[in-house]
A and B are shown apart, each in its own frame.
Chain A
Amino acid sequence: MAKRVNMDYAAGKPVDPRAIDAMLPYMKTSYGNPSSLHVAGQEAKRALDEARIKVAELINAEKADSIIFTSGATESNNLAIKGAANRNRDRGTKIITSSVEHMSVVNPVKFLTTKGFEAVFLPVDKFGSVDLGSLEKELNDKTTLVSIVYANGEIGTIEPINEISKIVHANNIFLHVDATVASGQIPIDVQALGIDLLTVSSNDMYGPKGVGALYVKDGMRIEPLLHGGGQEKGLRSGTENIPSIVAFGKAAEIAKQEMQTHLEKLTKLRDRLIEGLIKPLPYTFLNGHPTNRLPDNVSVRYSFIEGESMLLSLEINGVSVSSGSACASKTLEPSHVLLATGLKHEEAHGSIMFSLGRDNSLEDVEYVIGLMPGIVNRLRSMSPLTPKELKV
């Protein structure tokens, strides 16, 4: 069989076999409802409590009860933003976020502007780091919530959450942090950082899809999106998805135990990939911060050519990647994250994203490095934008 290399782990990750093993009994034999008082119910309740402890430990939450299980990062972001804004409306109606957020933050914030809230999208520098001066300037007595991504999944830049938290809390405002792609990959300590609300995703740490969590700091008031039987401290009604939550807990436990190993390995692969992609080809640039970035993210842009045609060329050679470009997605606009870093539309269109995973090897990285010059030069030779002096 032809060689297949997956470098699109950001789009979806395999579930760790240990997490699958952990969840199976909760579908076959221990299928009780944690709200029931009988043995089967209590068995499920115990499993739920254990998973809650594991997720809490991963982010150093002050207590397990601060973890609310949800259907995933999109729900967690919605619950955090709408829940905090609505519940604390008496404190103000201004919400501040950044221009490099995931759509599951952007759109709830935009939605709230139709309900009488005011929204500000902070600018970022060319690396995608949130501008702290603008944050300070925008804070006023109407501001109730600031929502910033821990690390951006498209360009990998890790935001200065510690500094942001200090500024936000000096003004007595709540801070939500979307740690969807960061949690499980890099150490996060919600207590040390003083975070009020933190979004965590299961699949991003090799747990199943369709489950996630929101950390809600002890004493933080939010209102639920779903009303019903009052599960999850009344913040997320609906019978808990025990098998998936158990697997998520296991994935969180593994992520914590093995974090250092994966972090070191992925960082090495990442740095080799960046070097190997950029050095041999002129007009080739790294998107995002050169060092302050996630260990799994390599986002590169090539002048004069378009991302999807690179994606297809790699696909023909057995490599799966994602193009940050519009043409491969449902909307025709280039990524708002790339544009926020100051790129022109045509530059953003020439971007391609490699996201590494635990199963990638140095051999995979070298294979991709070897393919790119041929792919890029072929497309450049067909492009009307390629400058004459560039012989391809």
Chain B
Amino acid sequence: MYSDKVMEHFKNPQNTGEIPDADGVGTVGNPVCGDLMTMYIKVKDNRIEDIKFKTFGCGAAIATSSMTTEMAKGKTLEEALKITRADVASSLGGLPPVKMHCSNLASDALHAAIKDYYKKREAATEVKK
């Protein structure tokens, strides 16, 4: 059912866990639907210096989370915002059609984390003014 690449990421997911002092945090999904993921990012000089995830969900949800963190790490925020669900799926050698929507949310979580970072930075700038 799953590609070897998906199974590899499911067996040995990269960047699992939390970043306690994260610069941006993004959560998407809903446990009611069976998928919930949170991405934590640490930003330095406009680049994603560190990224970690926590995911409740099926094999595809865990594998796409892991793959997304690998793809995003080291990228500029602009580059990271361009990572799409389709990019993640194709990097994993494809996903079963039924999984494309429900479990392929990791890029959305990444984008949410970046937006959270922007929002926090804006708020900080406001305070300084």
Q: Using a CB–CB distance below 8 Å, which chain A residues touch chain B?
A: 304-309, 312, 316, 325-328, 330, 332, 334, 344-346, 349, 381-385
Contact = CB atoms under 8 A, between A and B. Distances in A.
Interface stretch (B51-59, B75-83, B86-94, B113-121): B51-59
A383 B54 contact: yes
A382 B16 contact: yes
A382 B31 contact: no
B127 interface: no
Contact of B34 (A316, A346, A381, A384): A346
B10 A349 contact: no
Contacts of B16: 381-382
A336 B121 CA distance: 46
B57 A309 contact: yes
Given A306-B57, A312-B2, 17 more contacts: A306-B34, A306-B61, A307-B58, A325-B58, A327-B35, A327-B60, A327-B102, A332-B34, A346-B56, A382-B13, A382-B16, A383-B54, A384-B36, A384-B37, A384-B38, A384-B54, A384-B55
A330 B59 contact: no
Given A384-B54, A385-B56, A345 B98 contact: no
A345 B53 CA distance: 23
Given A382-B13, A382-B62, A325 B56 contact: no
B33 interface: yes
Contacts of A325: 34, 58
Among all A-B residue pairs, the 10 with the closest Cβ atoms:
A346-B31, A308-B58, A327-B58, A384-B54, A345-B32, A349-B34, A312-B59, A383-B56, A384-B38, A382-B16
A332 B59 contact: no
Contacts of B99: 327
A385 B58 CA distance: 14
Nearest to B59: A312
A349 B57 CA distance: 9
Nearest to A385: B56
Interface in B1-44: 2, 7, 10-11, 13, 16, 27, 31-38
Given A309-B62, A332-B102, A382 B34 contact: no
Question: Which of A316, A330, A384 neighbours the largest number of chain B CB atoms within 10 Å of its CB?
Answer: A384
